[in-house]
Amino acid sequence: MNVIKIRKLDKQLRGTLQLPASKSISNRLLIMRALSTEDFTITKLSESEDTILLGKLLNTVKSSQNKKGLTELNTGNAGTAMRFLTAFLAMLPGKWVLTGNARMKQRPIGILVDALKPLGASIEFLGSLGFPPLLINGRILKGGEIVVDPGISSQFVSALMMIAPKIPGGMVLHLSGQPVSYPYVNMTIRLLEDFGVKVVHERSYLKIPACNYQPHEYCVEADWSAAAFWYEAAALAEDVDLFLAGLKKDSLQGDSVLVDLYKCFGVHTEFLESGIRLVKSPERRENCSFNFSDFPDIAPSVITTCAVLGMHGKFEGLKSLKIKETDRILALKNEYAKMGITIETNLEGDFFSKIELIRTNINLPPGIRFKTYDDHRMAMTFAPLAIRSGEVFIESPEVVAKSYPGFWTDLKTLGFEIT
């Protein structure tokens, strides 16, 4: 196992970073381009492992369309690729096996499969019912009204929305429960509309007509999810003047909520023409509470910030964290124990729905070794703690390539030593 040591000899955070392009926007654009009758250029496409993999899989699909027999596509641990390709392949004539790594085979897909079947989709589970791998007999689907539960993953909804314009008769989606990560549904709506698809929508209702995408060149904005780790670092540092290039105020990404959320941790955001500037603010609260239903990807960094600052915190909307690259609540609980931090959890069925940080005597000596659980966000969440302890060890640092390949280089740019 690869392990790196991260040292920070001061509590300063000064410099300029160019954040990576949004993985979420990039992956949607790849699917939309594959569905378009004309090619179009995507500039500043994400260089994340997930986006590169999705692009390769779509190329495999394109080259395999006229071949007989089965084509197997392995999504590894890329949940977006698994969900988007499930809907995409269902409407593409051919026989496809869609699989992934061991963790992917534990991540539910049954809700999406059930939503596709009333449209005429032919999909079978090759392993456990409701989970990958899938055998998909792609065929021309028929439009109509369907019901989908958005309470586990918004990607089920986005996957259906993107194929809707290419289905004769279009699609009406009724969302049967309280959605999670709804800003990602809004992201998909805005991208569809940008490419000429008129979407009628309310929070629990989406109507998408059959039409052709209107292709044009698109430049991908920087990733607000990646900014979460620099907001965390800014909150933990004492002297901050950090410019993050490429982030937009009028963003498609819901994770731009970081601007308001980190005010309670004493981080002020200034919007400039080409990005944002982070500086310290004297205003900081003693307590923090937040519902992450719409923003699950930033939960590890926000909760860790609160914990390490010794604040009391109550957090809700955490159900989807169980089915990420790892069970993120259990991962945080395990690693917090190394620092003397205790969290109490409330279960809703098989899912953690709420957690509460309990004030304890935080013990953050140099040299704590953090596991990353094959999860990119765990690695990037624990790395900034070197600002407080002086030194941390991170296992399997290569996992950051999934979303932010340049993360360790950017740490070095800001004065962190990595060996």
What sections of 65-212 are H helices per DSSP?
Answer: 79-90, 110-116, 154-163, 182-194
- Average of pLDDT values for 371-380? 92
Does residue 388 share a domain with residue 291?
yes
Distances from the Cα of 292 to the Cα of 22, 34, 38, 57, 74, angstroms: 19, 32, 38, 31, 30
Which of these three, 176, 204, 219, is where a domain ends? 219
Does residue 323 share a domain with residue 273?
yes
Does residue 389 share a domain with residue 356?
yes
Does residue 306 share a domain with residue 249?
yes
Question: What pLDDT is stored for residue 356 in this prediction?
Answer: 79
Pick from 117-121, 165-169, 289-293, 356-360: least confident: 356-360
Catalytic residue among 255, 297, 375, 410: 297
CATH of the domain at 275: 3.65.10.10
Q: Tell me: the pLDDT tens digits for 326-374? A: 788 888 888 988 998 888 877 565 455 677 776 667 888 899 999 999 8
Does residue 357 share a domain with residue 282?
yes
Does residue 250 share a domain with residue 320?
yes
56 φ, ψ (degrees, to nearest 5): -65, -40
Question: What pLDDT is stored for residue 353 in this prediction?
Answer: 65
Q: Is the C-alpha dihedral spanning 122, 127, 130, 133 positive or negative?
A: negative
Which of these three, 219, 234, 251, is where a domain ends? 219
Does residue 96 share a domain with residue 63?
yes
Does residue 187 share a domain with residue 280?
no
Does residue 272 share a domain with residue 379?
yes
- If one counts the domains in the chain, the total is 2
Does residue 311 share a domain with residue 189?
no
Question: What pLDDT is stored for residue 289 in this prediction?
Answer: 87
Q: Tell me: the pLDDT tens digits for 85-133? A: 999 999 999 999 999 999 999 999 999 999 999 999 999 999 999 999 9
Distance CA 74, CA 67 (A): 18
- Average of pLDDT values for 39-57? 97
Model confidence band, residue 225 (pLDDT cutoffs 50, 70, 90): very high
Q: Is 327 a catalytic residue?
A: no
Distance CA 273, CA 248 (A): 9
Q: Judge whether 204 and 177 are in contact, CB under 8 Å.
A: no
Closest residue by Cα to residue 158 from 271, 39, 28? 28
Does residue 392 share a domain with residue 263?
yes
Question: What pLDDT is stored for residue 351 in this prediction?
Answer: 53
- Average of pLDDT values for 222-247? 97
Residue, of 286 and 261, whose pLDDT is higher: 261
Question: What pLDDT is stored for residue 325 in this prediction?
Answer: 75
Question: What pLDDT is stored for residue 323 in this prediction?
Answer: 66
391-395 β-sheet, strand order: 368-370, 391-395, 3-7, 417-418
Does residue 139 share a domain with residue 231?
no
Distance CA 373, CA 388 (A): 23
Query: The domain containing residue 246 runs over which residues?
Result: 3-20+222-418
Please tell me the pTM assigned to this model. 0.92
Distance CA 157, CA 105 (A): 20
Q: Judge whether 19 and 223 are in contact, CB under 8 Å.
A: yes
Which of these three, 197, 219, 241, is where a domain ends? 219
Count the helix, strand and coil residues of the chain and give each as a percent rounded to the nearest 5: 40, 25, 35
